[in-house]
Structure 1
Amino acid sequence: MGVKIGLTGGIGSGKSTVAGFWQEAGAALIDTDAIARQLSGPDGAAMAAIAAEFGSTMLTPDGALNRSAMRELAFSDATAKQRLEAILHPMIGARARCQAEAAQAAGMQWIVFDVPLLVESGHWRERVDRVLVLDCSEQTQMARVSARPGWTSSSAASVLAAQASRAQRRACADAVIYNDGLDLAALREHVLTLCAQWRRCK
């Protein structure tokens, strides 16, 4: 049975970069954001239910979820996020389990679940053996997210406000990497050192 690691952190904390370093160390990666994008992409398995719940205005011309429109709706309608998650989360969980089973069948000893909302979900903590939290200041998060295409300072601030606090994430962590002011080489060294430590105490 492979060791299951939950990787989480607030938006802009550097999860995707760290996930890549875990893959470099030989871990299988299960990216729940990527699964969500597949489910809500053109002809995705969740799109019929999303269209039925929210209407065609939440769809792009090619039949995918209109993410910017959904973000705007979520800011004005407090129930929109929960309604979307009620559709997506069971599907994401099912696909993540299938991918994990395939990785275990292939003999992978380490399986990393990249789960942005691990703390918020309430159920992911019990599905993994250890939790690694990426932490950084909110100022750093704002700067990183605001620089992304299609994002503004206000939209970044709204997402930060809706996520778990830094203290809540750290409280559920087995290890924390403070990714503020680190260059890629230093961040990689932190990840590989932690990986080596966890292998020794496996």
Structure 2
Amino acid sequence: MTSQSAIESIRVPVIGVLGGIGSGKSFVARTAAEGVEPPWLVLDADKVGHEVLREPEIRSQLVELFSNAILDEAGEIDRKQLAKRVFGEDPAQRAARRQLEQVVHPRIRQTLLDRIASSRGDGYAAVLLDASVLLETGWQPLCDHLVFIETDIAARQERVAGRGWSMEELARREASQWPLDKKRACAAAVVFNDYVTDAAPQELRRLILGWLADAGDSGNSVPESSVVSPSEAPGSSVDDEPRLSTLSYHTRRVPWLSSLSSRRSWWLSAIRRFPGPLLFLPPFVRQPSP
């Protein structure tokens, strides 16, 4: 197994993709990565979680906690039955969710670490980490940048209805996650997804290409301007990057400087001087708990 510290010096840049349930973050991440060369690896933490639930050791631990009632006819974990026990704000559900997380989250995190660590050797230039509870689990240190996918509530409701979920089920599941405003505040950029055009994937791709160029990990050129006006037009983004960055003497290499022109971000930020490099810090933005 690979520890996080062991991969810091060798891994490719990791972009965490945030968003509400039904926001289309998985679709946006997958589509943004299509056809890119060198390729980008899209890691779907939910799919990794499904893999973990099929591991005999994990299954045995969960049966011990929740009984055989969570198994289907084939003896595998029935995710719908498990969800009924752990999603919601009932004290018993919260306690059951904590038990579930203690069993599965360490295994999911280790799997993500291993795949991130091997991504450079596999020829990937970047990793897009799509994890619905990335902040809640404290996995944000795995990421170099966070992007929030913004979607209209009606579109999200329509999407989850297509999964067979009721609005009550959506509310129960969202109650187990951070509020969307809190997630949005932790992101370096917000991309608006309308579910109609491919503007959101294109904008996410543009942002990532710019970050890769800034990091020196891509031959792609930096976008002509990193100043992005906030709006809710499909695919547009509000770029508050970065949360912490070192000053460069080239204006196209100072994404935080352009963020001062954003109505959403300039007043959130402050500049402090240290003996070392000049750092840009947004002290009024709540950061996720470890």
Q: TM-score, normalised by structure 1?
A: 0.89
How many pairs were matched up?
A: 198
Cα distance in 2, alignment partners of residues 127 and 195 from structure 1: 16
Matched residue, 1:54? 66
Cα distance in 2, alignment partners of residues 9 and 45 from structure 1: 31
1:10 Cα deviation after fit: 1.4
Offset from partner CA, 1:119-155 (integer Å, 9 cap, x none): 211x211121111111223333222112213x22211
Q: Which has the larger radius of gyration?
A: 2
Matched residue, 1:94? 110
Matched residue, 2:181? 167
Opposite residue 56 of structure 1, the aligned amino acid is: N
Q: Structure 1 regions of 5+ residues with no counterpart?
A: none
Query: Within 5 A, what are the aligned runs for 1:1-202?
Result: 1=10, 2-24=12-34, 25=36, 26-41=39-54, 44-74=56-86, 75=88, 76=90, 77=92, 78-121=94-137, 123-149=138-164, 151-179=165-193, 181-202=194-215
* Secondary structure of the corresponding residue to residue 131 of structure 1: strand
Flag the structure with higher helix content.
1
Cα distance in 1, alignment partners of residues 63 and 199 from structure 2: 44
Note if contact 1:44-1:64 (Cα within 8 Å) is conserved in structure 2.
no
Cα distance in 2, alignment partners of residues 63 and 15 from structure 1: 31
Q: Structure 2 regions of 5+ residues with no counterpart?
A: 1-9, 216-290
Note if contact 1:7-1:113 (Cα within 8 Å) is conserved in structure 2.
yes
RMSD across aligned C-alpha pairs, in angstroms? 1.8
Q: TM-score, normalised by structure 2?
A: 0.64
Range with bigger deviation, 102-111 or 88-97: 102-111
Range with bigger deviation, 158-167 or 89-98: 158-167
Opposite residue 8 of structure 1, the aligned amino acid is: L
Higher relative contact order (CA 8 A, sep 6+): 1
- Runs ≥4 residues deviating over 6 A: none
Distance 1:44 1:37, change over 3 A: farther
Range with bigger deviation, 156-165 or 9-18: 156-165
